[in-house]
Amino acid sequence: MTRDGERVIELVNELGSRVSNVLSEMVPPAAQVHLLNAQRELITALMLIYENRIAPAPATKRVRRARATRRTTKRDSKIPVD
């Protein structure tokens, strides 16, 4: 992760903690837990978007390999069942 990415994480965490301190008196504890989980998910999503935009494109593309054909032998034939 880049230094800019780390700064963004620190900033978002600081803002989240300040908002949670202000709202802690007005919001019930169960709702606080829910809001903290939502905050974590939002931070994760924002960081993934940020990293996806900043990361350089891969130099090579993956090449699909052709499927190997299965060799059939006499042993692979169907067995008659009576």
Most confident of 4-8, 41-45, 50-54: 41-45
- For residue 24, what pLDDT is reported? 77
- Whether residue 47 contacts residue 8, with contact meaning beta carbons closer than 8 Å, is answered with yes
- For residue 41, what pLDDT is reported? 92
Half-sphere exposure of 70 (CA within 13 A, CB side): 5
pTM: 0.46
Tens of pLDDT along 4-38? 778 887 888 888 788 777 777 788 888 888 988 99
For residue 71, the SS3 value is: coil
Of all residues in the chain, the percent with pLDDT exceeding 70 is 72
